[in-house]
Structure formats: structure tokens, C-alpha cells
Amino acid sequence: MSTKGVTTGKAAVKQAVKKTVKSKPEPAPLTSLKKQYMKSNPVCKVTFRLPREAAPGANTVSIVGEFNNWDMTEHAMKKLKNGDFTATVELPCNKEFRFRYLIDSCRWENDWFADKYLPNEYGSDDSVVAV
């Protein structure tokens, strides 16, 4: 019986480690809606994230939607060091909510990775988050 070409012992382990190290990890899926469902309450903490590319040069961004009666001041987003904006909102489960981002109090932007989009009465679309 020939063992030519068969690696055994420490050499086999080193070879397996090299193969593992060389393989690249799968990239994380792009998303701007991070959902965390609470075990004790029928609510979901949704973290909304607007990338800086969606709001270049923006100073302020608010998340405005059905969950806050389209109040432009209730959910101001925090600007991160990298230029992205983020805010976390608790929403009741088993519902869908329309929303949009209001940039510098004058420009609307949809979420690039919303769960879906629905037409609104102003001739554009609203982003939708389903929880």
C-alpha cells in the first residue's frame, strides 16, 4: 500500500490551517435596518442607518414615518464619525410602517435597503419596514 502524496500528522494540520486562513470570509449582507426582537415585549428595536453616500454633506437627518405621525422632529438621527446617520426606534411587532429620511429639513431620501417600497400620494415612494 502506497502513501505517496498523502500528508499525515503535523504536516496535515498545517496544510488544513493554511487552506482555512487563505479562504476569505463571506461579506456581510448590505442592510441599513437592523432588527432586534425583544423576548419580554411584543416590540422590535429597529436601528435605522443612512449611509453618508445617501446624504453627502448633510448636517442633520431625521427619520420620519407612520410610527411618529410623520413628525419631523421626534427622531433626530445621530451623525457618526464616518458620516453615516443612525437612530434606534422601538416598534410594535407584526406591523409594517412607511418612513423616509429628511435631510437638512429640506430633502427626502428613501432607505436604500428597505423591506419594500410603496407609492405615496406625492408621486414618489415611501420606504417600508416590516417588524
Provide CB contacts within 8 A for 78, sequence distance 6+: 85, 86, 87
Report the pLDDT value the prediction gives residue 32, as an integer from 0 to 100.
82
* pLDDT top residue among 31 and 29: 31
Q: Are 61 and 103 in contact (CB under 8 A)?
A: yes
Q: So where are the chain's domains? A: 33-130
Record the pTM.
0.76
Report the pLDDT value the prediction gives residue 13, as an integer from 0 to 100.
47
What CATH code is assigned to 33-130? Answer: 2.60.40.10
Residue in the structure block whose three cell numbers are 421626534? 74
